[in-house]
Amino acid sequence: MRLLQLMAGAAEGGAETFFMRLAVALQSSKIDQHLVIRPEPERETRLRDAGVGLATTKFGGKFDFATRRILKREIGLFQPDVVLTWMNRATDFCTRAGDSGRFCHVGTPRGYYDPKYYRRCDHLVVTTDDLVR
């Protein structure tokens, strides 16, 4: 399986910490993964030291067309079976980058966020029963 993970999070936080643990753990599995993350030097170093392939982009605001182009390029080059997007910004950029029919899009809202960001996901992964509701 080819997994592309998109993380536009802050330097630190609960979702970011879980993302790091998962990415490093998956690197020793049979899952072929690639990441697209917001530039963060410490995170980049830790991931590269673990052997994880990655690209960076700023995941900026509404008029950040560069991130859309980069995501479209990374999706085209990596040809993922699954794209796992972390939180609103990465999920929104993934759906705006297009080509979602070529992979299964799994969104991971990490709290009580507006469902509009996740309406085009094929599946959602949530952490509490309340979020399921």
Per-domain boundaries in the chain = 2-132
Residue 125 is predicted with a pLDDT of 93
For residues 12 and 117, give the distance between their C-alpha atoms in angstroms, rounded to a whole number.
Answer: 22
Structure tokens at 54: 């990655």
Helix-helix angle 41-49:14-27, to 10 degrees: 20
Q: How many CB atoms are closer than 10 A to CB 21?
A: 10
Residue 131 is predicted with a pLDDT of 84
For residues 6 and 67, give the distance between their C-alpha atoms in angstroms, rounded to a whole number.
Answer: 11
Residue 17 is predicted with a pLDDT of 94
Residue 102 is predicted with a pLDDT of 86
> Which of these, 73, 70, 119, 74, lies nearest to 92 by C-alpha position?
119
- 94-133 residues labelled b (16+ CB within 10 A) or e (exposed): bbbbeebeebbbbbbbbeeeeeebbeebeeeeeeeeeeee
Looking at domain 2-132, which of 3.30.420.10, 3.10.20.30, 3.60.150.10, 3.40.50.2000 is its CATH number? Answer: 3.40.50.2000
**pLDDT tens-place values along the chain, 133 residues long:** 999 999 998 888 988 999 999 999 999 999 999 999 999 999 999 999 999 999 999 999 889 999 999 999 999 999 999 999 999 999 999 977 666 568 999 999 878 888 888 988 999 998 888 888 8
